[in-house]
Structure 1
Amino acid sequence: MAAMKKILAAAVVAAVAVYIGHRFLKIKEMCLASRELPVKHLNCHYLKNIEYGAEDITVLRDGLAFLSTGLKIFNMPSFSDEPGKMYVMDMLHPRPTPVQLQIKGELDLSSFNPHGISAYVDEADDSVYLFVVNHPQQKSQVEIFHFVPENTLVHLKTITHPLLHSVNDVVAVGVESFYATNHQAFANDVLSAATTLLGFSWCDVIYYSPNEVRAAADGILSPNGINISPDKRYIYVSNIMGHAINVYERKEEEQLQYLKAVAVGSLCDNIEVDHRTGDLWLGCHPNGKKLVMFDPEDPPGSEVIRIKNIHSDQPVVSQEYADNGHVLMASTVAAPYEGKLLIGTVFHKALCCNLK
């Protein structure tokens, strides 16, 4: 009997080891760890004043672009000890140049660590509100600012909630309401790493308003960037480890109904939407292993992917920019405006490119 128990125990251990080994291979596959990227450049120049990353960028219809910079998170490299900053620039200027935004109000700027951003324009008076994911001491909260031209953000509110435990990005749908992606299933890093290793799709999208906070969509492997269609009917979520963009329709009480996933073949981070065409522009990581295991001799590359006609039966997915990391490392966002394209990164520089 004792011998039988030992044999059974050994079999169980062997089976678990095989399963874990299989999952590690699957993670390597999901990270696109063996992918090498041929370059495909545009006519670009580095943006002035941006030296330590512009993780997210969003552009208003009038050409004002907002940039969040200096993110320190996820064991990513960081080449500055300074807190994060916000910038604004006018895309209609012949040589757009980022200008640092002055932040006023009761916000601890010494621990400001901005991540995903979203702008909301109040149709009643054209006031601009900027929503910024902030990670002070690696926590997750959302800051709401009022933008005062030319270069000031007035802090209005800090939003925290147990359901907003690992926020990556937000898309504003009102003066105080938004959808947010949780890129981890739990606030605990160890538990979240275990769920990723085991392949559990337990992450969600949270809807927040002053009146209620709840999951609007769930069952997602690794939600990252989020944005909204120009007509406000659809929400797009980047399932980064699934190499796909999920499409949802907004329903009653702000629930999100899953419609489909569009394969993109890369680890796509933030999503920007062309106001005129509705095309999706994605800043992507072509090789996740190079991003996590940073080596300056073999740096993580950058990739920009565009999706046309995403609601059709045959969306057109195209690569618009690609670099092996020697010009631009670790791209996270690509924001188009009137023939120009801004490309931001986790911790490196940012580019302004001509599309025409």
Structure 2
Amino acid sequence: MGRLVAVGLLGIALALLGERLLALRNRLKASREVESVDLPHCHLIKGIEAGSEDIDILPNGLAFFSVGLKFPGLHSFAPDKPGGILMMDLKEEKPRARELRISRGFDLASFNPHGISTFIDNEFKNTVEIFKFEEAENSLLHLKTVKHELLPSVNDITAVGPAHFYATNDHYFSDPFLKYLETYLNLHWANVVYYSPNEVKVVAEGFDSANGINISPDDKYIYVADILAHEIHVLEKHTNMNLTQLKVLELDTLVDNLSIDPSSGDIWVGCHPNGQKLFVYDPNNPPSSEVLRIQNILSEKPTVTTVYANNGSVLQGSSVASVYDGKLLIGTLYHRALYCEL
């Protein structure tokens, strides 16, 4: 009798394991392939060889890249090189990426940037690093390291003031093994946190894996990408900085970072059509890239357009797409970066 019970329990455990593996494959879009959508005027950006995970562009055309991300389980083309911040002036006739010097005293050897956001101030072991860009010297002055118990696994931030920001925690745990266990079990413990020097609080929760985050041009709405749920959440921002969910846009891809066109309010998204290829890297079958443009997201039927798609032959693992004055920058988790004239 005891043996029969043991066999029965083993059978149930194996069935649950199989169900979880199948569910994870579906969430990673393991069987999806992409049809190429090419842009005619594109070239790879010289000097970016090992990832440009996030990009943010100032109104004056200065683009900032966070580069060199290393994450447990992901491939790296430069595993021994620390991360950095690059800048490109999109108003130049032939823009090129330049690495910015960071002020002395900052631990550059352990720098592993994941997500970047800029805020214009006319006055001036998961952490958020706050820098001041000194344009005259093309350098970064390190101002502050932000640590807090409500920020255990920060993925991305969107700045709403000097040292004020919303941040996504893509997991509840900071330990890599527990992160993957959390993902495997699909616990929906990820959240969005509002941080200021005077107050830190959870303002939205219940995400599968909260990833990219950005704010509408009128500062009324916060957009959050839930990468494993294949969704973009539209959250209304209130005067007390709390958020309430307004709507959810479902997509057929893993949505990573979100960029906003300040002139139109369109959302540009770097996506992973087949997320499993990110974690099981095969140079003969590399991760694909996909860029979506979302227009009128507040309407009943937003317009979703595939602007660019590639099977990995040119660009692998697109994580962000940012536009400025007819120019498009596409960054990746650990590969190259693309500059296009639209």
SS at match of 2:245: strand
Whether the aligned pair in 1 keeps the contact of 2:296 and 2:302 (CA below 8 Å) is yes
Aligned residue in 1 for 2:263: 276
The aligned runs of 1:183-262 (5 Å cut-off) are 183-262=170-249
- Measure, in 1, the Cα distance between the counterparts of 2:110 and 2:178: 26
Aligned residue in 2 for 1:20: 17
The aligned runs of 1:54-93 (5 Å cut-off) are 54-80=52-78, 81-93=80-92
Once the two structures are TM-superposed, the CA of residue 263 in structure 1 deviates from its matched residue by 1.5
Aligned residue in 2 for 1:165: 152
SS at match of 1:196: helix
How big is each residue's C-alpha offset from its partner over 1:25-60, in whole Å with a ceiling of 9 and x where there is no partner?
011011110111111111200112111111110111
Once the two structures are TM-superposed, the CA of residue 340 in structure 1 deviates from its matched residue by 0.8
Aligned residue in 2 for 1:94: 93
- Partner amino acid, structure 1, of 2:182: T
- Partner amino acid, structure 1, of 2:83: G
- Measure, in 2, the Cα distance between the counterparts of 1:301 and 1:91: 26
- Measure, in 1, the Cα distance between the counterparts of 2:241 and 2:175: 28
Q: 1:32 aligns with which of 17, 29, 35?
A: 29
Once the two structures are TM-superposed, the CA of residue 84 in structure 1 deviates from its matched residue by 1.0
Once the two structures are TM-superposed, the CA of residue 190 in structure 1 deviates from its matched residue by 3.1
The aligned runs of 1:82-161 (5 Å cut-off) are 82-122=81-121, 124-125=122-123, 127=124, 139-150=125-136, 151-161=138-148
TM-score of the two chains, using structure 2 as the length reference: 0.96
Moved more, 208-217 or 302-311: 208-217
Whether the aligned pair in 1 keeps the contact of 2:50 and 2:76 (CA below 8 Å) is yes
Once the two structures are TM-superposed, the CA of residue 76 in structure 1 deviates from its matched residue by 1.4
- The answer for unaligned runs of 5 or more in structure 1 is 128-138
SS at match of 1:195: helix
Once the two structures are TM-superposed, the CA of residue 9 in structure 1 deviates from its matched residue by 4.2
- Measure, in 2, the Cα distance between the counterparts of 1:36 and 1:21: 23
- Measure, in 2, the Cα distance between the counterparts of 1:170 and 1:74: 21
TM-score of the two chains, using structure 1 as the length reference: 0.92
Aligned residue in 2 for 1:133: none
Aligned residue in 1 for 2:335: 348
SS at match of 1:173: strand
- Partner amino acid, structure 2, of 1:353: C
- Measure, in 1, the Cα distance between the counterparts of 2:338 and 2:181: 36
- Partner amino acid, structure 2, of 1:290: K
Moved more, 247-256 or 220-229: 247-256
Aligned residue in 1 for 2:305: 318
- Measure, in 1, the Cα distance between the counterparts of 2:339 and 2:310: 14
How big is each residue's C-alpha offset from its partner over 1:201-250, in whole Å with a ceiling of 9 and x where there is no partner?
11111111111222111001111111111111111111000111111011
Once the two structures are TM-superposed, the CA of residue 169 in structure 1 deviates from its matched residue by 0.6
SS at match of 2:118: strand
Aligned residue in 2 for 1:303: 290
- Partner amino acid, structure 2, of 1:301: S
SS at match of 1:15: helix
Whether the aligned pair in 2 keeps the contact of 1:224 and 1:238 (CA below 8 Å) is yes
How big is each residue's C-alpha offset from its partner over 1:132-182, in whole Å with a ceiling of 9 and x where there is no partner?
xxxxxxx41110011111411100000111211111111111101111111
- Measure, in 2, the Cα distance between the counterparts of 1:49 and 1:277: 31
Residue identity (%): 48
Once the two structures are TM-superposed, the CA of residue 354 in structure 1 deviates from its matched residue by 1.4
- Partner amino acid, structure 1, of 2:55: I
Whether the aligned pair in 2 keeps the contact of 1:264 and 1:305 (CA below 8 Å) is no
Whether the aligned pair in 2 keeps the contact of 1:334 and 1:342 (CA below 8 Å) is yes
Two-structure CA RMSD over aligned residues (Å):
1.4
